Amino acid sequence: MHRPRRLRDLLGACLAGALSVSAAAADPATVPFTDRRDPPSYRVLTAEERDRYELGQTVFNTSWVPAGTPRAGRRDGLGPMFNAASCDACHNNGARGQGPAQSGPAPVGLVIQLGAGDAADPVYGHVLNTSAIEGHAPEGTVFVAYTERRGRYPDGREWRLREPRYELRALRLGTIGKHSLIKPRLAPALFGAGLLEAVPDAAIIALAERPQNGVRGQVSRRDGLIGRFGWQADSVSLDEQTARALSREMGLTSRGAERDDCGGADAACQRAPDGGQPEVSDDFFDAMLAFQRWLAVPRTDVDEATEADGAALFARTGCAACHRPDLPVTGAGPVRRIAAYTDLLLHDLGPPLADRGADGRPVPTLWRTAPLWGLGHAVSSGRPLALLHDGRARSIEEAVLWHDGAAAPARQRFGRLSHAERNRLLDWVALR
């Protein structure tokens, strides 16, 4: 489908790799992932840094076991309620979680958060824990049922989407709090997370003050800090996000979260024995942060023949107003600017994507522009794609078709492109 990379081959031969041969290849944030199981750092690490990175990766991959497991040493304290026993179970080798293939039980990487705003659900806590250690019962199970939606582009070609409905079953502590929203969230890829953290606050604020194409994003703020992680950018740092994951999704305490995410009504969870104070040592916690901070973005070879045309189409269609191709970073070694294709700002993409209350009604929801870098890695993984915050989109095209609200004009422009142009745009996005 993609033409031979003649220009680059030629240049490559001339320059013998001494000079970078394309904008993408020059991007020091990206590195070829020769072994997907062993994601590299974006910069050369010192021996001491490398040890920390590898320890962090090791802890990230480790399956934790219940407190009191014989000989478990440094890896006990899981649960009593949890969703997965390792970070890697949801973010496999740092990549995004696998979405549901079809209607059925939700896969482990698709988590149901409960609550309203920053407040947890009064009964179940922040996350519905679908697993438990022996002697305890999970909080409930999650089923997703898809309904097919069909429609046509202005040129008459048909498209199909699948719309999810979430059912919480076997809820052990009764119904969820009446003000709680049901917030399905698929584990995102972690590639380049440290670089997103390295974007200066001022750059994010400046983007919010300079709307492009009439699109005005909102800064995610909490306690004077700027949120940038999670699908709603409600987490202000990797430190906070890691502590949250440990306590909410794994039942592990750490210096950032001294308690498990037990529901307010769950005495058995609150009484359960612990695997140390905290269960995850500071040493392990810091190593996991180092791993995430230095994790590179997988490089996908671009098609030199169509790269400029694709970028222009992306901008002309209005995608780049939110998915910004260029952000500054500070304190990230050789990396000065990143092409993450996000503005780290929040946008309302309309009712179709919004979270729903227990009554099934959509509630206005603000989403962080999802970074598009690393998409090529997901596309070439051989596994089905699962895009958007709940993995409902099975292709880049489906993801675009779900854009509504602030992104409706861009989606409409996308729809009015010729079939060939649409494909060129989608192919270009698939190589990010």
Partner 1 sequence: MKPLTVLALARLTVVLGVILPAATFAQDGCDGFKWDNVAAERALFATAAEDVRAGTDPGTAPTIVPDRLYRAALSPQETLRYAAPPSKKMLADGASGGLLRFRVARAGLYRVALDAGFWIDVVADGTAIPSVDFGGSPGCAAPRKIVIYELPAGRDLLLQLTGAVSTQVQVALTAAPDASP
Residues interacting with ligand HEC, by CB under 6 A? 83-84, 87, 89-91, 108-109, 111, 185-188, 190, 193, 215, 229-231, 238, 241-242, 245-246, 249-250, 288, 292, 317-319, 321-323, 347, 349, 353, 367, 369-370, 372, 387-389, 396, 399-400, 403, 406-407, 410, 414, 429
* Helical packing angle, 419-429 and 304-316, nearest 10°: 110
Q: For the chain, give percent helix, strand, coil, nearest 5.
A: 30, 20, 50
Contacts with partner 1 in 1-30 (CB under 8 A)? none
Report the residue from 63, 175, 270, 330 that binds partner 1 according to the rule CB under 8 A. 63
- Which amino acid appears at position 194 of this protein? G
DSSP tag of 391? S
Contacts made by residues 199-205, CB under 8 angstroms, sequence distance 24+: 199/228, 199/327, 199/328, 199/329, 199/338, 199/344, 200/328, 200/329, 200/330, 201/226, 203/327, 203/328, 204/228, 204/343, 204/344, 204/345
Chosen from partner 1, ligand HEC, none, partner binding at 300 (C-beta under 5 to 8 Å by type): none
User: Does residue 158 interact with partner 1 by CB under 8 A?
Assistant: no
- Characterize 108-136 residue by residue with b for buried, 16 or more Cβ atoms within 10 angstroms of its Cβ, and e for exposed: bbbbbbbbbeeebbbbbbbbbbbbbbeeb
User: Does residue 157 interact with partner 1 by CB under 8 A?
Assistant: no
Report the residue from 11, 40, 45, 54 that binds partner 1 according to the rule CB under 8 A. 54
Smallest distance from the beta carbon of 146 to partner 1, in angstroms?
Answer: 6
Where is 197: in which H helix or E strand?
helix 193-197
Smallest distance from the beta carbon of 3 to ligand HEC, in angstroms?
Answer: 22
Question: Which residue(s) pair with 283 in the sheet?
Answer: none
Smallest distance from the beta carbon of 9 to partner 1, in angstroms?
Answer: 28
User: Does residue 104 interact with partner 1 by CB under 8 A?
Assistant: yes
Where is 226: in which H helix or E strand?
strand 225-226
Smallest distance from the beta carbon of 232 to ligand HEC, in angstroms?
Answer: 6
Helices marked H in 62-152: 87-90
Report the residue from 18, 150, 174, 331 that binds partner 1 according to the rule CB under 8 A. 150
User: Does residue 36 interact with partner 1 by CB under 8 A?
Assistant: yes
Where is 105: in which H helix or E strand?
strand 104-105
Q: Say if residue 66 is preceded by a cis peptide, omega within 30 of 0.
A: no
Chosen from ligand HEC, partner 1, none, partner binding at 296 (C-beta under 5 to 8 Å by type): none
* Binding piece for partner 1, criterion CB under 8 A, among 24-32, 141-149, 312-320, 338-346: 141-149
Rg of the chain taking only CA atoms, in angstroms: 22
Q: Is the Cβ of residue 21 or residue 399 nearer to ligand HEC in the bound state?
A: 399
Report the residue from 73, 214, 224, 360 that binds partner 1 according to the rule CB under 8 A. 73
Residues that bind partner 1 (CB under 8 A): 36-37, 54, 57-59, 61-63, 65, 69-76, 85, 88-89, 98, 100-105, 107-108, 130-131, 138, 143, 145-151, 153-154, 161-163, 165, 167, 350-352, 382-383, 401-402, 404, 408, 411-412, 415-416
